[in-house]
Structure 1
Amino acid sequence: MGENNINSKDFLIGTLIGGFVGAAAALLFAPKAGTELRGSLNEGATQLKDAAYEKGSDLKVKAYEKGSDLKNKASDSKEKFSQKTQELTKNVQDKWNERKNDETAAEEAAEELADAIEEAAEEAEETK
């Protein structure tokens, strides 16, 4: 894509230079009086200026469109990244809570087992 833009730019520059050189050569070798020649040169320069202005305007519009497209893509990427980050954060929190709940359940089971052992020990002493 970059090479295509460079080729377009080179083509435009070559066209402008070639047009200017060709117009100047045609005017210089044409059998005209000095006043007519200056008028023709002015007219050619005006046409060249208008063509360059038109091409510049076209390039400005294209640059604005490309910039707008890139801005939209960046905004979309930012939204997707933010959404993905939120999903990953929620998953990590859920897993952390699960692990915490598992640890709490294990502690409760251990306490129940300790209570049961203690009760069994007390009953064993009472039966002696």
Structure 2
Amino acid sequence: MIGTLIGGIVGAAVALLFAPKSGKDLRGNLNQGASDVRGRASEWKNVAYEKGSDLKDKAYVKGSEFKSKALDSTSQMTKNFSEKTQDLTKTVQSKIQDKRNKEDEAEEAAEEVAEAIEEAAEELEKK
């Protein structure tokens, strides 16, 4: 836009110096040209404003979509992590319970062996 304005001013100055028209006609043409440039600049401003507004709206929509997707992904990852943690906890608890059951069985077997030894010792003493 600035280049257009500078070009217009330089063109007007050159036109004044080399114009075959009278000063009054030339000033009228220059005023008309300046008015046309102002009109085009105003149109460009409006177009730039509309496009900027459209881009802002699109950026807001995309940002909202990305935020929603990020929240969904985070929620899903948290849910998956929680489920995996619960599964792992259940597995560990099951293994611990199995070991306790085996320890209890071993303890019972040891008690039975101890009782059998005591009975055998008592029978030997009786004889």
TM-score bracket for this pair, using the shorter chain length: 0.7 to 0.9
Count of paired positions: 106
Unaligned runs of 5+ in 1: 1-19
**1:64 aligned residue:** 64
Q: Which amino acid aligns with 1:55?
A: L
Q: Hey, what's the Cα distance between the residues in 1 that align with 2:62 and 2:71?
A: 14
- 1:26: how far off? 8.7
Structure 2 unaligned residues grouped into runs of 5+: 12-29
Q: TM-score under structure 2 normalisation?
A: 0.73
C-alpha separation in 2, matches of 1:40 and 1:47: 10
2:4 pairs with 1:25: yes
| Separation in 1, partners of 2:65, 2:83 | 27
**Match in the other structure for 1:47:** 47
- 5 Å-filtered alignment, 1:1-128, equals 25=4, 29=8, 32-127=32-127
In 2, the alpha carbon distance for the partners of 1:92 and 1:98 equals 10
The AA in structure 2 aligned to 1:67 is K
Partner deviation per Cα, 1:23-43 (whole Å, 9 max, x = no partner): x63995597433332222112
Give secondary structure in 2 for the equivalent of 1:43: helix
Alignment partners' CA distance in 2, 1:81 and 1:107: 39
Alignment RMSD (CA, Å): 2.2
The percentage of counterpart residues that share the same residue type is 36
Q: TM-score, normalised by structure 1?
A: 0.73
Question: How far apart, in 2, do the equivalents of 1:53 and 1:43 lie?
Answer: 15
- Please identify the structure whose Cα radius of gyration is greater: 2
